Amino acid sequence: MPDAVWLTAHPRPTSSRNGFGRELKGFTRPDATGRRFATCWFVAFGLPIVPLSRCYLSEDRPRETWLGATARYRIEGESRLRAAEVLRTYAFGWLLVPAVLIAPALVLLSQADRVIDDEGSDVAKLSLVGAFLLVLLGSILALGVLRGLYRQRWAPVREVVWVDAPVVPSGRPAVR
């Protein structure tokens, strides 16, 4: 079923500083026109808190910095929020990412008493910390690769139908 999209007269900018603000999350794959959907979220500490709107985007010229390039998007229209996309973003941000970060710490803590009680050398202690850091780094890299694969191969492609902006009870179009 195609998604109804309407033009927005004044699209809200998305920006965040130090993990607080508005960010686009939950991207779909580009459709035949090269545009895609994403949900605009209010975020705190980089975690999605409240979905604000669902935007239909086209990729704009990337912003070049000395660290690399940042993707920029132009908001072409707006659509109704999709529950599945909101739940998927919550699950990724609040369940999967914390699990990937906390699991190596739990492994380290489960072995810490044994290593501290040993009268052995510091090599065992350093190897435990090294293993912790390797597992943590590997988990973060694997999560990044899986996220990239999802966005390129498994994220849904949505069809679009352009409609007039929905009317709110005041009788005016609901333009944000």
For 12-55, the pLDDT digits (tens) are 778 888 889 999 999 999 999 999 999 999 999 999 999 999 99
Q: What is the pLDDT of residues 79-117, one digit of tens each?
A: 999 999 999 999 999 999 888 888 888 877 887 777 667
pLDDT at 21: 95
- Most confident option among 71-75, 109-113, 158-162: 158-162
Contact 29, 157 (CB under 8 A): yes
pLDDT band at residue 162 under the 50/70/90 scheme: very high
- Mean pLDDT (whole number) for 115-125: 70
Other C-beta atoms within 10 Å of 90: how many?
17
Distances (CA, A) of 17 to 54, 57, 98: 21, 22, 21
Of 116, 92, 95, 119, give the one whose Cα is nearest residue 23. Answer: 92
Q: Where are the domains of the chain?
A: 3-162
Global pTM value: 0.80
